[in-house]
Amino acid sequence: MSNYFLDFSQRKVIGKIEPTVFGSFIEQLGRAVYNGIYEPTHKTSDSVGFRNDVKKLINELGVSIIRFPGGNYVSSHNWKHSIGPIDKRPVDLSLAWTERDPNLVGIDEFVPYAYSCNCEVMMALNLGTGTFEDVIDIVEYCNINNSCYWADERIKNGSRQPYNIKYWCLGNELDGEYQICHMSADDYSKKAVSAAQIAKTIDPNILTIACGSSSPYSAKFPAWDKTVLHETFDYIDFLGIHAYFTYPDLNNRVDAEFFGSAKMFNDYIHTCIKLIKEEKEARKSDKEIYLSVDEWNVWHTFDGTLNYKTPWGCGEPRLENQYDYADMLVFTTLLTTLLNNADYVKIACLAQLINVIAPILTQKNGSVLRQTIFYPFSILANSVKNALSLETLSYLPSFKTKKYGEVSSVYSNVSYIADRDEYVVTLVNLTNEEINLDLICKHNATLDKIITFKTDNIHIKNTFDQPDNVKPLTVDKHLDFSDSLNYVLKPFSLDFLYIKNRKE
């Protein structure tokens, strides 16, 4: 018996975990596309130039939807330059990232590629330099069957069937002053309303995502989001928010401070949910607006990955974070936060997917690497899509941080998979002490298996030379118990418990 407990016996549902919560993001940036997914000279590449070894890992990761083509990149992107015969495509400058884009991976390459990875596409519209005519044309190109100019162009370019892209982002981070053509919340809202109206007129099945805040730390948050929700309410389906976390003080990297990130993340999400509810209430509306956390991750900038020296290059390393075990713990607390808000978080895109702040790293002409953060995403994506995220009652220890105040030592999520009558319990211990916990389900049950990690160095990383420094261990248990299970969380541990109800 322990003082600390996590009780999920009430089986109170927060929400269904939509598969789209396990989304990701590929931007035309660094080695995400060129020398990432696309490397025609690689020995595993297909006839278009996509690496099959990378595709295999995308499948293993369990990604359900990929946002494309940006990010900041999209705000000066001319989509019409990225279609048609490859040898006739112009080279463009990516203003956001001071890179060159030869436009070798456009809509007709990327969308079929994503579909072949069993992923949907979340297309981002250019609401920076882009015009409303561009919006009409791209939606027509992607989603209209035939017999109009841009649909017929798509057919000429080899795709008989429309792509039927359902999710469309109305621009990217237009609140940020670094964003090409950034604007006020009022100006953005006007542009977003017209773009959404155009998209939904062309294809009423389209769901639109408005730009909410680019960061919980933004000085414009939450005023920006409040205005956008108020002005665009009738035209949008999701408020899209972004959040990246690192050590709050980059000159003094205290793990415990970084470990508080999910508290900020949760507050951010809750503030947005409150704004949505208030706007709905003020209008006496039945319409639901959900959250799309369409960029989230741990992102460190202290290692110089932002200081690129060669402007206007292409396919060179940018923002290639190497994630360690501690990053994996924080990453999992962020992921459990998304799942614990499954009533409103219906889409989330891990930013990004390949090489750029990503779970997968590639070597040019070489192999692929699963970074530490690959594992919690893949384990949960392959276990709890369509499961029910459950409310818990808990009494847990906590620790103090300067930045985030009192933070729980244990982050958890309990998901229930109805057709297997099984719970998946995710447990992260953020402290260097053992925590003795009672898991209460008030039922006869069996602890079937545990997926766990072992390390005595929380700053260890996976490298191409030592790719298995951090990897999951599966322990088969088949341990029957009644009502509650006493479980000891090891210091700095990450465990996934698979618990089946037993009817007897």
CB of 418 to ligand AHR, least distance (A): 35
Q: Which of 218, 340, 352, 426 binds ligand AHR (CB under 6 A)?
A: 352
**Binder of ligand AHR out of 18, 27, 109, 324 (CB under 6 A):** 27
Report the alpha-carbon distance of residue 363 to residue 369 in Å, rounded: 8
Residue among 39, 99, 237, 295 that touches ligand AHR (CB under 6 A):
295
β-strands 99-101, 92-94: how paired? antiparallel
Rounded CA separation 68/234 (Å): 25
Measured from each CB, the residue nearest to ligand AHR is: 71
CB closer to ligand AHR out of 172 and 413:
172
Q: Residues 173, 231, 279, 422: which is the catalytic one?
A: 173
Decide: helix, strand or coil at residue 406.
strand
Whether the CA torsion 224, 227, 229, 231 is positive or negative: it is negative
DSSP code, position 281 = H
* Short-list 95, 87, 83, 89, CA closest to 28: 95
Radius of gyration over every alpha carbon of the chain, rounded to an integer in angstroms: 23
Closest to ligand AHR by CB, 227 or 305: 305
Q: Indicate the angle between helix axes 325-339 and 261-283, nearest 10 degrees.
A: 20
User: Distances from the Cα of 344 to the Cαs of 16, 288, 417, in angstroms?
Assistant: 10, 9, 19
Secondary structure E strands in 185-228: 207-211
Return d(Cα 161, Cα 146) in angstroms, integer: 9
**Length of the chain (residues):** 504
User: In angstroms, what is the minimal distance from the CB of 55 to ligand AHR?
Assistant: 21
- Of residues 102-131, which lie at the interface with ligand AHR (CB under 6 A)? none
**Spatial distance between the Cα atoms of 244 and 454, rounded to a whole number of angstroms:** 26
Binding-residue pattern over the window 225 to 264 for ligand AHR, x denoting contact by CB under 6 A: -----------------x----------------------
Nearer to ligand AHR, 311 or 405 (CB): 311
Widest CA span in the chain: 71
For ligand AHR, the binding residues in 187-226 under the rule CB under 6 A are 214
Find the shortest distance in angstroms from Cβ 396 to ligand AHR.
Answer: 32
What mask of x and - would describe binding to ligand AHR in positions 380 to 419, judged by CB under 6 A? ----------------------------------------
Catalytic annotation present for 434: no
Q: CA 297 to CA 308: how far, in whole Å?
A: 21
Query: From residue 158 to residue 177, what is the string marking binding to ligand AHR with x (rule CB under 6 A)?
Result: --------------xx----
Shortest distance, CB of residue 211 to ligand AHR, whole angstroms?
Answer: 10
Closest to ligand AHR by CB, 80 vs 242, is 242
Q: Residue 156: which residues within 8 A CB-CB, separation 6 or more?
A: none
Q: How many residues bind ligand AHR (CB under 6 A)?
A: 11
Site membership for ligand AHR, residue 24 (CB under 6 A): no
- The helix/strand count (H/E) of the chain reads as 10, 23
Closest CA to 385 of 7, 63, 102, 107: 63
Minimal distance in Å, beta carbon 221 to ligand AHR?
A: 14
Q: Which is nearer to ligand AHR, 311 or 491 (CB)?
A: 311
Is-catalytic flag, 173?
yes
Taking residues 445 to 484 in sequence order and writing x for each that binds ligand AHR by CB under 6 A, - otherwise, the string is: ----------------------------------------
Q: How far is the CB of 168 from ligand AHR (least distance, A)?
A: 16
Q: How far is the CB of 52 from ligand AHR (least distance, A)?
A: 25
- Distance, CA of 193 to CA of 188 (rounded, Å): 9
Pick between residue 95 and residue 396 the one whose CB is nearest to ligand AHR.
95
Of the pair 215, 340, the CB lying nearest ligand AHR is at 215
Residue found by looking up tokens 């990297």 in the block: 253
Among residue numbers 61 through 100, which ones bind ligand AHR (CB under 6 A)? 70-72
**Minimum CB distance to ligand AHR, residue 96 (Å):** 7
User: Which residue number, 231 or 295, has a Cβ lying nearer to ligand AHR?
Assistant: 295
Which of 99, 140, 231, 295 is labelled catalytic? 295
Q: For residue 70, which of 178, 144, 162, 154 has the smallest C-alpha distance?
A: 178
**Of 344, 218, 341, nearest in space to 288 by CA:** 344
Tell me the one-letter amino acid at 39: E
**Omega prior to 222 cis, within 30 of 0:** yes
Query: Helix 261-283 to helix 223-232 angle, to the nearest 10 degrees?
Result: 30
- Given 123, 192, 339, 351, the residue binding ligand AHR (CB under 6 A): 351
Runs of H (alpha helix) within 79-120:
107-116
For residues 250 and 475, which CB has a smaller minimum distance to ligand AHR in the complex?
250
Q: Which residues are catalytic?
A: 173, 295
Where does this chain bind ligand AHR (CB under 6 A)? 27, 70-72, 172-173, 214, 242, 295, 351-352
